[in-house]
Structure 1
Amino acid sequence: MNLQHWISLFAEQVQNTSFPEWIAVAFGVTEVLLARKNNILLYPAGIISTIITTWLMFSVKLYAESLLNAYYLIMSIYGWVYWIKKRNTSPIPVSYTSKKEWEITALIIGVGWLFLFSALKYFTPSTTPVWDAWVSCTAWAGMWLLAKRKVENWILLNVSNLFAVPLLFHKELPLMACLTIFLFVVAISGYFDWKKIAGPRQGNNNDGGTFSKKTASA
């Protein structure tokens, strides 16, 4: 397919994009930009985007995508609650991922990939079960680290983004691919911003994590 084909396809997608889709994309971009700034408002923005996206996916009978977005919704609510300041306590600080948390992350990726691959291969007409499962399970792990305010969440999210871009082009969804490229660039910036907030690695906490003296803005 030549460049003219992709330009025409992109223009056609923009023209045919529904109002709810634009709202979902707008709040999705807002969520990432707020996450980069380490602002707790990223979660309500993400919840709005995810609810609309879940409805859109279900309406076109993409049930697996609906399930994935339902997971995002649950993780967004969990992350919002986790970030909320409690009386007489400090905000949860940005920190680096501990050894135990890396083990949980690996488990999320491994079990998540096996579950999604099996579901896509045996219960859906998916033509890319391996790739689809990998994009989703790394996003799951990244969302979990984001909810825990871990610097490395950006790495996992960008692993997902990196594989999602060619997948979206393969599925002839250039508009979504371009959005993912934008999110990829923002996530790189977010990673370095969060490293500045966390500061240099310091002493271990009880479960092996390394916390900064700085706390995040809520």
Structure 2
Amino acid sequence: MIEYFFSQYADYPTLDIVLEIVAVIFGLLSVWYAKKDNILVFPTGIVSTLIFVYLLWKWTLWGDMMINGYYFVMSIYGWYHWTRKKDDTVEFPISKISSSEKRIAIILFIFTVAFVVSVYHYFGKFTTWYAYVDTFITGVFFVGMWLMAKRKVENWVFWIIGDVISIPLYFSKGFTFTSFQYVVFTIVAVFGYLEWKKISDSSQTELQK
């Protein structure tokens, strides 16, 4: 069984294997902190995404590389957004998505998928089934990260969808550690959704009193 899951690492440079493990650890920490609504989600996420940008560039997985590059930028934005306060009160607490934000999310998804499709087509990367899946989950993750930076409960729905698809996707690409990471991501995302929804519902109840 060990050979089945990890045989693809036989020809990998040791440095790349170590970097992937470190990126996975920091990625798991980031998702855990997101679940707890802890601002450490962003610095840990930045470490993970920077390493993955490097690794995915080496592996010529440009769709995934763009996702992580975007995560890096949105982590900086989210870090700033989460620290904004007004009279010692968090200016943007956990809340549910608004109608206008739904429209923006749809536009962001369509634009992202169209952009990734054009990049893959230009470089002739539509040679495997997972290249097509990449275009879809890139859009899903882009929306999920944007909603998380804005502290919207629904961000977890997008993470769950993308994480579930990523489990077999990364395994088929030969990146077992990253595939296992997405198994954990899925579990944490489910609990994260339940926890954030509870906080949001509680806040709404308080406002209605």
TM bucket, shorter chain: 0.7 to 0.9
Question: Does the 8 A contact of 2:23 with 2:52 survive in 1?
Answer: yes
Shift of 1:200: 5.3
Paired residue total:
200
- In structure 1, the partner of 2:182 is 180
- Identical columns (%): 34
- In structure 1, the partner of 2:5 is 10
- In structure 2, the partner of 1:33 is 32
Structure with greater helix percent:
2
Shift of 1:14: 6.9
1:178 maps to amino acid: F
- 2:181 equivalent to 1:164: no
- 1:1-49 CA distances to partner (integer Å, 9 max, x unpaired)? xxx5xx4232335776622221111100000000000101110100111
Question: Does the 8 A contact of 1:138 with 1:159 survive in 2?
Answer: yes
Question: Does the 8 A contact of 1:151 with 1:191 survive in 2?
Answer: yes
Measured at CA, do residues 201 and 81 of structure 1 come closer, stay the same or move farther in structure 2, by a change above 3 Å?
closer
2:54 maps to amino acid: W
Q: CA RMSD in A?
A: 2.2
Q: TM-score, normalised by structure 1?
A: 0.82
Equivalent residue runs for 1:1-218 within 5 Å: 4=1, 7-12=2-7, 18-86=17-85, 88-91=87-90, 92-126=92-126, 127-128=128-129, 129-199=131-201, 202=204
- CA distance in 2 between counterparts of 1:117 and 1:100 reads 26
- CA distance in 1 between counterparts of 2:104 and 2:84 reads 25
Measured at CA, do residues 64 and 131 of structure 1 come closer, stay the same or move farther in structure 2, by a change above 3 Å?
closer
- Point out which structure has higher relative CO (alpha carbons under 8 A, 6+ apart): 1
- CA distance in 2 between counterparts of 1:94 and 1:162 reads 24
SS of match in other structure, 2:85: coil
- CA distance in 2 between counterparts of 1:32 and 1:133 reads 22
- CA distance in 2 between counterparts of 1:61 and 1:165 reads 19
1:139 maps to amino acid: F
More displaced, 38-47 or 118-127? Answer: 118-127
More displaced, 38-47 or 12-21? Answer: 12-21
Shift of 1:102: 0.7
Shift of 1:87: 5.8
More displaced, 129-138 or 83-92? Answer: 83-92
Shift of 1:158: 1.1
Question: Does the 8 A contact of 1:31 with 1:46 survive in 2?
Answer: yes
- CA distance in 1 between counterparts of 2:4 and 2:124 reads 26
Q: Give structure 2 stretches of 5+ with no counterpart.
A: none
Shift of 1:109: 0.9
1:58 maps to amino acid: W
- CA distance in 1 between counterparts of 2:142 and 2:99 reads 18
Question: Does the 8 A contact of 2:6 with 2:176 survive in 1?
Answer: no
Shift of 1:201: 8.0
Question: Does the 8 A contact of 2:24 with 2:177 survive in 1?
Answer: no
